[in-house]
Chains A and B, each alone.
Chain A
Amino acid sequence: MWRSPGGAPRLRCLTNFGQLTIEASYIRVIKLTIDSGATAWVLVSTAMVMLMTPGVGLFYGGLVRSKTVVSMIGLSFLALALASVQWVLFGYSLSFGTDIGGFVGGLDFLGLRGVGMDAAPLAGSIPHVLYMAFQLVFAAVTLAILTSAVAERVKISSFVVFGLLWTTLVYDPLAHWVWGGGWAASLGALDFAGGTVVHISSGFSALALALVIGKRIGFGSYVLEPHNIPMAMIGAGLLWFGWFGFNGGSALAADGLAANAFVVTNISAAAGALAWMAASWLKGKPSALGMVSGGIAGLVAITPAAGYVDSLSAIAIGGVAGVLCYRALLFRVGRELDESLDAWAVHGVGGLWGAIATGIFATAAVNQYTGLLYGNVDQFIAQVIAAGASVIYAFGMTYILAKLVDAFMGLRVSEDEEYVGLDVAQLGEKAYA
């Protein structure tokens, strides 16, 4: 059975007229009762994923200069607030409403109409409204990750407009493709907890956004040093913690699959941390910031795979992610791209690797799917197609949206404001007296 969030259980049969897909929910209507264990776990998971958004803020906030740390953390909270309201009004509906051409959801859940406290086909054995909330915090953290690209130079008003457009026109369709019954789900592509929807989308969008907004003043000519590495490490700690809800909760049940997702999440993060640390050690020092960045890379990479792979595969997935994302960061710096806090290198590249790795390491011992390692080439190809399409859509659409907002409102603050710092210039506040 289909187990990823949003993907309603499906039966597939081949008929003389082609492939017929039947929503299994229509067959199992009788079984739609609320399970208290599952509901309790997803409630907790939702709260844990919510904490990841300030986690992103603190991680990013530690990496910028002291004159922009308030704005950096503030942008994450802003992402949470914006995505929450948008999600309730129409975002959830665009993602999970009745399928329109495999591309986007219909408007049936507009303003949460019909999203009640009972179980629903989409939500399995938890209340529909809880399923909606669980998906909401994913939308929020994805927008927060994107703020990497505009660090220390974005106009807050433009970010409000851009953020709303982005979450509506990039995030919502992508969530629909994969979880809402769109074309990627029909193709059979697997994405357990959001490697494609959350990480590929935010990572490659960040790259496009960084290209449009341009480098920070002084980038390349002098060092823009992280002002507070302990703060970044607190953020990374919150992310690691929240990720258990992110991946474990995506089982939408309190069962063995949730436990497997929970365990492989930790293992992949650990392998990523060690791999990145080793890679930077070979070039000089075993950086602590590098170690936690590697942990995040491992978490990103295991996200799509968490419900399909075993613990030993998780070591491989996380380990490769640590080295790969570190190389991506060096490449980014070498090309003098100011995608400032490496959402592309860590989330984009890590997410891409995770999506492909799912097609390699998936094993029937965990779930019913198998990957390349067990001779299933089709799964691998489906992963590559879905990931590739997401990269192209996220990058292309974000580039267009960023250009539009830039043309109408200007994405960037003035040179003087950037020099003084966004905290004082945009918010009228200072982090440190």
Chain B
Amino acid sequence: MMKIEAIIRPERLEQVKKALEESGFVAMTISDVLGRGEQKGIKLQYRGGVLDVDMLPKLKLEIFVRDEAVEQVMKIICDAGRTGKYGDGRIFVIPVAMSGKVRTGEVEK
């Protein structure tokens, strides 16, 4: 089992969620995060000076999937989350040792 951790644009959430749902990936956890990528945020001209807005609001999606579904999910997130501009985000895949359901106590490896 793998954990897919995707940092995406907040405004692409609806599209990403919909695309994942259509392929049967319904379960996910979402949180608001602030962060920056290689471009170090956005520089704005401000009254002659430069205003750095380095931490931009993003969303973090966490999805747990079977190993063989990882590439499919990554592709779905990329396709649905892409605007083509800097700041579209990044996806990380992390191995998960075990998971269990609280309601039933059922354990999955």
Contacts and interface: CB of A to CB of B under 8 A. Distances in A.
A218 B12 CA distance: 9
B42 A222 contact: no
Given A420-B53, A420-B56, A428 B13 contact: no
B56 A428 contact: no
Given A416-B42, A420-B44, A420-B56, A428 B51 contact: yes
Interface residues of A, number: 13
A419 interface: yes
A189 interface: no
A424 interface: yes
A420 B11 CA distance: 12
Contacts of B42: 416, 419-420
Nearest to A425: B44
Q: On chain B, which size bracket covers the interface? A: 10 to 19
B11 A222 contact: yes
Interface in A270-291: none
Contacts of A424: 51, 53
B51 A222 contact: no
Interface in A378-433: 414, 416-417, 419-420, 424-425, 428
A223 interface: yes
Interface of A: 67, 218, 221-223, 414, 416-417, 419-420, 424-425, 428
Given A419-B42, A420-B53, 6 more contacts: A67-B57, A417-B44, A425-B44, A425-B46, A425-B51, A428-B46
20 contacts: A67-B57, A218-B11, A221-B11, A221-B15, A222-B13, A222-B14, A223-B14, A414-B44, A416-B42, A416-B44, A419-B42, A420-B42, A420-B44, A420-B56, A424-B51, A424-B53, A425-B44, A425-B51, A425-B53, A428-B51
Which 8 pairs between the two chains have the least Cβ-Cβ distance?
Answer: A222-B11, A420-B53, A218-B11, A416-B42, A222-B14, A425-B44, A420-B42, A417-B44
Interface of B: 11-15, 42, 44, 46, 51, 53, 56-57
